[in-house]
Amino acid sequence: MFPDAAPHSLPTVTVGLDESDASRAAADWAAREALLRELPLRVLLVRAIPQAPEPREPDYAALRTWADSSTRGEIGRLTLRYPGLRAVREQPTGVPAQVLTEASEQAELLVLGSRALGAVQGFLVGSVAQLTVARARCPVVLVRATADAPAPDPAGDVLVGLDLRHPAEDVLAFAFRAAELRGVPLRILTAWHLPHSYGLYPPVEPDFITREARDWTRRLSEAVRPWREKHPAVRVREIPAEGGAAQRLLAEAAEAALVVVGRRNRRSRTGAHIGPVAHALMHHAPAPLAVVPHD
């Protein structure tokens, strides 16, 4: 019915599977995305290696049986629900975040689940997902668990946050393609701040805010213009917004079917970092969130 492993030379939409409702929601989202992109879906369930001594040796035979049954059952469910879906499965043994990060090197897109904690607390993004987002070589989409995991994508457009201080062509390329594939509008938001000295003595010129807003509007338009020309079918709305980027994106996210943000490829002595805007959206954005790595 389906192969056990994908040829690594072919790009895939890869989804990380476990026993959670969030994982099932992610698998459904990934299946629809694979059909949109005309790519195979790779269902990946990692048989985790214990990271600390356990009272007794794990029953690896039982783990293999469980993993085989889980992936077969999930692919059976998905191929029945989404006719035309090409799906493959793998059950490697290893450290989950490490295996998923390695899988991102062959994937066009990696999809993971997160679960709701409530309207105030936001969403729980586990340590495996956080480490994977911080290190992945391809875009990672976090999908929120819902009461009805197989529900269609939420209605809405694509919203992308753009930091004009660090040009991110990969972020715009991903956002424009996502909007084009779905046939929906694209909102592009960049946040700007008044200088810390604003409002202090000596007073600034009366039209200072107006000039700042015009300048950011112009800069955003110039950054987006080449992408409008590449994707003339995509309806674009540009939003230069004064204030914090995370807060402004969260305010706009309620009407989005997909939110897109960037993550710079950078490392420090303490490892990879996600960045404050992506981190805030990972825990509070109501829509699926794509985190796109870029230089």
How is residue 291 written in tokens? 């985190």
Domain boundary among 118, 144, 170: 144
Helices (H), 206-267: 208-230, 245-252
Query: What is the dihedral sign for C-alpha 36, 253, 208, 164?
Result: negative
What residues are paired with 235 via a beta bridge?
Answer: none
Domain boundary among 116, 144, 172: 144
Res 149: pLDDT: 45
Three-class SS state of 2: coil
Distance (Å, whole) CA 256 – CA 262:
17
Residues 182 and 129 in one domain: no
Distance (Å, whole) CA 22 – CA 114:
5
Residues 103 and 165 in one domain: no
- Crossing angle between the packed helical segments 21-37 and 169-182, to the nearest 10 degrees: 80
Range of the domain at 80: 12-144
Helix%, strand%, coil% for the chain, nearest 5? 40, 25, 35
How is residue 285 written in tokens? 């954005």
Q: Which residues in the chain show pLDDT less than 50?
A: 1-2, 118-122, 149-150
Res 244: pLDDT: 92
Residues 139 and 167 in one domain: no
Neighbouring CB atoms inside 10 A of 217's CB total 15
Distance (Å, whole) CA 78 – CA 224:
37
- The answer to whether residue 6 sits within a structural domain is no
Q: How many domains does the chain have?
A: 2
The pTM (predicted TM-score) of the whole model is 0.87
Res 125: pLDDT: 73
- Answer for the pair 113, 123: CB distance below 8 angstroms, yes or no: no
Residues 19 and 128 in one domain: yes
Domain boundary among 94, 121, 144: 144
